[in-house]
Chains A and B, each alone.
Chain A
């Protein structure tokens, strides 16, 4: 176990140092090269190569860059970031410190969801213990609740102006972010993994994984399993392995939601052997995203579960861009009517058309993620959607437990 604490509660600085030794002092160029060679991908959802992002910020920095460690974790089915921050705050801080050195930043902001109380407390205490390393250049910013506040331009906007709504790009944060300075926005798990790679080298990370896949990361397993929670997996281990690591499935499973509300549904019978790995999943039209794995019980109606998620996502629009505000609301309304088996005559047709029209039409990717989820649902639950349009349901509907705020 590399990311999971060895004992309950927050790991102390002494325990952290005993486990991993001191913070390495590689020169910036070498550290970035290690990260690039490791193949580490961002763990916040988009899966962008971490080393390449550090390089982009380092190239623009003349000493005053900013590191924004993203621990907003607004995704309702994800727990991995808060669990990591609460249990291994010093590892996250190590990653942020290394990033700050590599990109020549003099300011680190830990952007942590306000509702993640244990994570907030652990980081606050850990930052106090590290005051010598940090020399006053680090602080916590409490992210407001909401799905979109973790989006990178929203995070920057919040730190700059107290408003956690996305802004128009360009400029992207790595060009002009906090205080107008080049800003590295990096998920907290990505930073923790970078801190491990800095100590052990890229070959260590490349040596982990099964099959074609390389590396390890955290996933959050929930739904119809016996022991839901955060698990560490070597990439390339299968969906079946993830279920087993969560105590096995607790009953018949109909489908699985992969990657979070920005990911998609998959047919579980076809995918037990699916390698959990960003590249392999992308090749199959799926996404590892932020590592959410949610098993939907067979008795739960996929249309209803999807309607709940779409309603939630529509409610989370930052209400700035017409296509997102009106499009997601209309989709949520029609999907709800379908879920309740009281659709208008052409609801199914309309959600198909609308979901094809929203991608790339918001300032941020909120609508893109939402319609990707709906499209996957219309594929995996095609028979159910068709039945619901005819006012029938194919499952003995037990209300969906997909958690929404």
Chain B
């Protein structure tokens, strides 16, 4: 393959600075405004007046443009090629959604505007929350959480509010998570003041029911589970799991990271979950933006509706409005009402796909994942732990343990070599229960040709590992830079986290 990533040796924008240059001019106030306002700088108390200019770069418009466009060319996105980053659902984003949100009736709309002046956006939010409720099999959805992890946080806070109202919070101290769980689950458990209790996985990669029964009890506040789980395996005992937790008096939370695989095929609400979140930037195809903005709507069953964050968007038959009058609400979880511009993109995506299209998403993402997994396994050194003969859903966690033992090539090296071959790497070393994990999620938006390209890249790396491992161990060579030293970036002596620290401590060598 002929992939070569752009390599501009682009300096920091601060290093392009030349005194006197400017990239943008502001509209000057009129003479009358200036006269009436008086000397504003003089009015500022001396104790608060900045004495020197801020040390920002001084660059012209064209220099700003070239700098950042060059940087963009040193970045890999879905629009460039295959991006099988497991658990992140890196699917293609329809371009029309960007066009739709580039409308001043959305962009220049202030959140505190009179509701009369915001009926359009409120209607979109109202309808979208209903569509999400339908997809989740839940009764009501809040669109407020800013990302998936934030949705989980809101969900755990609802679990907290539920037990507090039942006067059981003192004894219900534990949230159970599987050993294959996303790190956000235990982190949110702590943030909400609970203790994390880990339940192991059984031989087939699903929750070990016997172990769960032993753990669940009067200390159990809730259980967080993704289904299909992070191994890509569907938790077939999910109804029984929910029953165990409910019988113990806890609530069951659905981590929506893997919802893409079951759209229209199974719904968290029907599986027995009480609370569920959605990652709009995964399942509903809003762009990930290099790590945000995302959105993490949360749905709940009827008896938990009263705990949802304020405000909710409501409709009284005549107009749409924001309802703050919810005495049992957990309260405010962020400023304003959510990542609206992201949510509107999700709304557009739903209309573009329709019910039938969403179901096809599930079918094809699962087809693609199993196709890739099955073919990659034919190459030497890759194995599929937890019953390889079973189906995977949207993703498959392949292990490079055998390859490491036989050739010294680790999962990390495989990934770096894949970059050389023009595809993005899978997620490495997650879930923690798979040694040398390569978590592959191709998504439904890849063509068979690009899936084959991905498979061939895996096969080629395997061949190289067994014939000439140095090539793999030395990778990457076709990317903007060779292998990055991330230990140095975090070591106290070589840590440079800003231009200011760089000026203070000098260049890291």
A binds B: no
B residues in contact (CB < 8 Å) with A? none
